[in-house]
Structure 1
Amino acid sequence: MAVVRLLLLSISLAICYYALSIAAIGAAAAGKIFWWFQWQDNFHFYHIAQNFIGIGLAALLPAYLVHSYESDNKWLCIGLVIVLSMSLHGNIHYVPWDPVGIVRFFNDTLLRGDAGSVGIFLEILFMPILWLLAFERMPNRVMPRKFVH
C-alpha cells in the first residue's frame, strides 16, 4: 500500500509541477516576473533569472508536500516527480504519458537548446532537490517532519 501511495503522490505532484513550471516559463517569456526592471544589456541572463524565480516557486509546492507526506522515501518520490514532469515537458505535442518524452525533453533543451533552454533544464532538475535539502536542514520547530494522520 505504501508503494501505491508513493506512486500516486509522485504522479499527482509531477502533473502539478509540470503545470506550475509551464505557467512560470510562460510568464517569464511574457516578461511579467520582473516587470519593473528591464535589463537591456544581457537579455539571456534576464530571461534565465526570470525562469529561475518562476520555476523555483513552482518547485516549492512539490518539495514541501514530499517532505511532509513522504519523509521516509522523499528522495525516491522527488526523483519520480522530476522524471515524470520532464516526461510531460517532452510530450507537449504528443500523448502525455509517452515514455519517449524524457528523451525529447533532454534532446531539445540540453543538447540542442540555447542558453535559456539549458537553464530551464537545470532549473527543472535541481530546484525541487534544492528545496528538499533546504527543508531537511530546517529545525523541527520551524518545519515539522511529518503530518499527523
Structure 2
Amino acid sequence: MNFIRLIILSLCIGVTYFALSIAAIGQSAAGNVFWWFNLSGYPTITHLAQNVVGIGLVAFIPAFVIKSYEPSKQWLAVTIVVLATMLLHGNLHYMPWDPMGIVRFIFSTLLSGDIGATAMFFYITLLPVLWLWILKRAARV
C-alpha cells in the first residue's frame, strides 16, 4: 500500500509541477520575471535567466513536498515526478498520458531544440533534484 501511495502522491506532484512550470515559462515569455533588468542587446541570455529563476522557484515546491511527506523514498518519488512532468510536457498537443510523451519531450528539447529548449530540458529535469539535494543537505546540518 505504501508503494501505491508513493506513486499516487508523486503523480499528483508531477501534474502540479507541470502546471506551475508552464505558468513560469509563460511568465518568462511575457517578460514579467525581470521587468526591471532587461538586457536588450542579449535577449537570449535574459530569457534563459528568467526561465531559470521562474522554474527554479517552481521546482522548490515538489522537492519540499517530497522531502516532507516521503523522506524514506524521496529519490524514487522525485524520479516519478520528473518523469510525469516530462510525459505531460511532451504531450501538450496529444493525449495527456500517451507514453510517447517522454520521447517527444526529449526529442523536441534535448535532441532537436535550440539553446533555449535544451536549457529548458535541464531546468525541468534537474532543478527539482537539485532542490531535493539542497534540502537533504540542509536537514543534515
Could you give the per-residue CA deviations for residues 65-105 of structure 1, whole angstroms, max 9, x where no partner exists? 00011001000000000011000000001000000000000
Ranges in structure 1 where 5+ consecutive residues have no aligned partner: 142-149
TM-score of the pair, normalised by structure 1: 0.92
Distance 2:28 2:92 in 1: 18
Distance 1:51 1:109 in 2: 14
- Cross-structure match for 1:123: 123
**Identical aligned pairs, as a percentage?**
48
TM-score of the pair, normalised by structure 2: 0.97
- Cross-structure match for 2:17: 17
Distance 1:40 1:91 in 2: 33
**Moved >3 Å (runs of 4+):** none
CA displacement at 1:45 relative to structure 2: 1.0
CA displacement at 1:42 relative to structure 2: 1.5
Q: Kindly report the root-mean-square deviation, in angstroms, between the aligned alpha carbons of the 2 structures.
A: 1.1
2:139 alignment partner, SS class: coil
- Cross-structure match for 1:102: 102
Ranges in structure 2 where 5+ consecutive residues have no aligned partner: none
1:139 alignment partner, SS class: helix
- Cross-structure match for 1:3: 3
- Cross-structure match for 1:42: 42
Could you give the per-residue CA deviations for residues 104-141 of structure 1, whole angstroms, max 9, x where no partner exists? 00011111111110110000011000100110011368
- Cross-structure match for 1:92: 92
Could you give the per-residue CA deviations for residues 23-61 of structure 1, whole angstroms, max 9, x where no partner exists? 000000010000111111211111111000011111111
Higher helix proportion: 2
Distance 2:51 2:61 in 1: 16
- Cross-structure match for 1:146: none
1:70-81 aligned at under 5 Å gives the runs 70-81=70-81
